[in-house]
Structure 1
Amino acid sequence: MSNQHLLTNELTELDKKHFIHPTSSIKEQQENGPAVILKEGHGVYVTDINGKTYIEGMASLWNVNVGYGRKELAQAAKEQMEQLAFSSCFATFSNEPAIRLAAKLAEITPGDLSAVFFTSGGSESNDTAYKLVRHYWKLKGYPNKTKIISRKKAYHGVAIGATSATGIQDFQNMTTALAPEFIHADTFSADSVREIIEREGAENIAAFLAEPIQGAGGVNIPPDGYFQAIRKICDENNILFIADEVITGFGRTGKMFACEHWNVVPDVMLIAKGITSGYIPLGAVVLREKLHRDLIQLSEGTLLHGFTYSGHPTACAVALRNIQIIEEENLVENARLMGEELHKQLKMLQSELPIVGEVRSLGLIGALEIVKNKQTNERFEKKLAPIIIHEARQRGLILRTVTFGDADTIVFSPPLVINKQEIEKMFQILRDSIIAVMNDE
């Protein structure tokens, strides 16, 4: 047995014995070991410990926006670690990278979003926002404004508040005690939101929460006019609008932030993932100027909410360099242009293959549905999307499925540095994989 096989076997056994994987089947891990053990990445490609190379069609978890192997980000982390690796931001202590990043986020986010609370990721950003908006209304003299309207098929994270806001039942089934006062509206129905407000009373509702494009729920893109209607409803009823841009922020959709497609400015924006392209954990909650001003005027004593790593100087230094790369290399525009190519490839698959049903995309985020009958949208008894992406992985392409409820969906979210030839290669592998699975069924 070669040294490489010995290493693979050693790592597999250590993985099975000691590593509980997130969002994975524990039984499958014990039976088969890790699906892939990755070693390195460059651009849109990653390579496993056996030397096999894959196109990362999901940018890992929707987040490696500037691609893999960016030495600039490693250098930014190195320089900051050598200077000041970490310092707490409690009790008004501060550091230059956190200050500079807060100012940069105020510059690039839409409208008058201007004040930033740092977290370690998307779930923390969500739970922070839920606490802050309720605290805000309490300070304003409306202590009963505590309920939050979320949506069906929404995904907001796995902290207890974020899980409760999530509108995918499978995630909620993980716990027996969800946080109260989260109400789920129909996914794209402004009328459903109005009905909830009428039933619950605007005086009891703190905020409406939505991803501009639902990610883990299946890359669900809103119809024209939806978010404009939601913004109007929130304004009329004194309800704050929280936009969860954790997946869609930092160029993913062909705009720096997805809410810009609909010319809507939320009261609170949640960001993470692409802020550092996943090179180091970081998230943030960004507030509009009025909310920040009210908090300054009305607050007394200490804001008793914060994380050890809020304003982490190394993470903030990496984020600043990451945003600089996005701007200097025009990656938002590349996402728009390559998004057109991605959509073209999706439509070609739809026209060529009998089991590819609805396709949808905006910028470099997209999805296709696997169906038995395109006319009726009938599904296969056995879901094929997981089989197809397994076949694709054998052929050198990493993708992800959404199979909650009756969904049988393949989703896409490649790094923003992808080019036309790489998109064509990605879809040729997918095409071959779908045909192979069709022939086996």
Structure 2
Amino acid sequence: MNWSDIGYNIRYAITPMRRHREYAQIMTDKTEDTTTEMRDARYVMHPLTDARANLQSGSLIIDRGEGIHVYDLAGNRYIEAMAGLWSVGLGFSEPRLIEAATRQMTRLPYYHAFTHKGHGPMVDLAEMLVTMAPVPMSKAFFTNSGSEANDTVIKMLWYRANALGQPQRKKIISRHRAYHGITVASGSLTGITANHTSFDLPLPGFLHLTTPHYRREARPGESEEDFATRLAQELEDMIQREGPETIAAFYGEPVMGAGGVIVPPATYWEKIQAVLARHDILLVADEVITGFGRTGRMFGCETYGIKPDIMVLSKQISSSYLPISAILLNEKVFEPIADQTHAIGTFGHGFTGGGHPVAAAVAIETIRIIRERDLVAHVAETGAWMQDRLASLADHPLVDEIRGVGLVAAVELSAAMLSPAVPLAAGALGKRAALHLQNGGVISRAMGDALALCPPMIIDRDGIDAIVAALRHALDRCLEELA
């Protein structure tokens, strides 16, 4: 045996021992992390979170949920006033959704929709969605999240433009403070600075208009309708400046969600749609938050008289029990795409889990429950109660604005009215209030200095009263600290 053989054998004899020592050290380290909270800080990187701060503080670990409540590991109970992420419409641990998932799991736990394949739950859900849409739709295409769905719509818009022999028609118009997702393409549609910074977004070809927030963006003396007229003219000016032949679509949430629950001013959608119709530009309605009853109608498009060419659905489609999202296309959108797939031989896009049979079965049962329990009418009634009860906070010294529709709202906070004015960084007051609210047993979400509220659609008046009482107490605590 030569020296090189000896070296080889020593090296590969030592390597397993080194690996064993490393594994033993890892296991030792894990045993030192005695709580889930400690292990969370050690091993998990969280979305939409200050990673460095999380290493120090860890996270609130939720252990179980029931109805409108969730419970942490210590057994503390919270009203989930954000329905998770605007999404658990039927509340937590709904038995019928668990049963629907179990039934489908035992029959067909997985199948796909690629290359002329399919399965019953996907077909049933597609028919249900197309027939219940507020405007005529032709087809449903399934993905796993709102971000994936919006990313797919962008590709469909580009694909369609090429199919029509209009390769220059690729630009898409959105709004500042819009939220349409976090993939590279859907993140470019999004108009929130924090989702762009350090990611080199948005990509070229994504244009953003003024946020339709009347209180913040209107000029002195400008009425809501005059404000809407000015924003419609801004859209017209952008189209003319860029060239109508280069614009593929206008993208909008009926009510802007993560950007601060921005309710559109009177006549806004009517005037925006008139501009788009003049230039034959498609309209995409992002109903990821507003769909399936959140505004007091089945779809936000019905609440605001929107007639989209494409609708994007997710979140409450399955009460977020399983990931699923859907894109609804009308004939005007689908036909050129279908022709192009025939010319090429395929539509070269899709996801392994798109239209997953278990997720589709849960979505079907979710929609059935919404209909059977008349939850849309329930939201209209309890939503009006929530908006009225929140209005009682308008005279609080820290409340700047209250806005919302149905069971979605935001309470905008400001310390500017305090005397002397207390210097606070943007967002600091919102975080402080959200923490006091959480300590009081209600989970909200701070969007800058606005506290968002979007409780499960099954909530009753007593639940709403509890949220508002806890919110008032949290604001009083903030006021005491700032004073």
Fold agreement, TM-score > 0.5: yes
Deviations 1:15-68 (A, max 9, x none): 12221111111112110111x111111111111111100000000100000111
Query: Which position in structure 1 is the counterpart of 2:171?
Result: 147
Query: Which position in structure 2 is the counterpart of 1:349?
Result: 393
Specify which of 233, 239, 247 is matched with residue 197 of structure 1: 239
Q: What are the equivalent positions in structure 2 for 1:168-179 lying under 5 Å apart?
A: 168-176=192-200, 178-179=202-203
Native 8 Å contact 2:156 2:337 kept in 1: no
Query: Which position in structure 1 is the counterpart of 2:217?
Result: none
1:70 matched to 2:89: no
1:16 matched to 2:41: yes
Deviations 1:202-241 (A, max 9, x none): 1001000111111111000101211111212111112110
How many Å separate the matches in 2 of 1:7 and 1:246? Answer: 42
Q: What are the equivalent positions in structure 2 for 1:230-269 lying under 5 Å apart?
A: 230-269=272-311
TM-score by length of 1: 0.94
Deviation of 1:264 (Å)? 1.7
1:31 matched to 2:77: no
* DSSP-derived class of the 1:281 partner: coil
Specify which of 409, 418, 433 is matched with residue 450 of structure 2: 409
Deviations 1:163-210 (A, max 9, x none): 111111111014125422001011231122111101000100100011
How many Å separate the matches in 1 of 2:422 and 2:445? Answer: 18
Native 8 Å contact 2:188 2:201 kept in 1: no
Specify which of 90, 95, 104 is matched with residue 114 of structure 2: 90
Specify which of 264, 280, 291 is matched with residue 322 of structure 2: 280
Deviation of 1:161 (Å)? 0.5
The alignment-based identity, stated in percent, is 36
Specify which of 298, 303, 313 is matched with residue 347 of structure 2: 303
Structure 1 segments unaligned to the other structure (5+ residues): 1-5
Specify which of 413, 426, 432 is matched with residue 387 of structure 1: 432
Specify which of 429, 439, 445 is matched with residue 400 of structure 1: 445
1:335 matched to 2:376: no
1:359 matched to 2:402: yes
How many Å separate the matches in 2 of 1:106 and 1:61? Answer: 25
Native 8 Å contact 1:339 1:361 kept in 2: no
CA separation of 1:174 and 1:317: change in aligned 2, threshold 3 A: farther
Q: What are the equivalent positions in structure 2 for 1:53-132 lying under 5 Å apart?
A: 53-132=77-156
Deviation of 1:374 (Å)? 6.0
Q: Name the aligned partner's letter for residue 168 of structure 1.
A: I
Native 8 Å contact 1:271 1:283 kept in 2: yes
Query: Which position in structure 2 is the counterpart of 1:48?
Result: 72
Q: Name the Cα RMSD after superposition.
A: 1.8
Deviation of 1:289 (Å)? 2.8
Query: Which position in structure 2 is the counterpart of 1:3?
Result: none
How many Å separate the matches in 2 of 1:380 and 1:218? Answer: 22
Q: Name the aligned partner's letter for residue 362 of structure 1.
A: V
1:218 matched to 2:263: no
How many Å separate the matches in 1 of 2:474 and 2:263? Answer: 26
Native 8 Å contact 1:44 1:56 kept in 2: yes
Q: What are the equivalent positions in structure 2 for 1:365-384 lying under 5 Å apart?
A: 365-373=408-416, 381-382=424-425, 383-384=428-429
TM-score by length of 2: 0.86
Determine which structure has more spread, i.e. the larger CA radius of gyration: 2
Deviation of 1:297 (Å)? 4.1
Specify which of 321, 332, 335 is matched with residue 293 of structure 1: 335
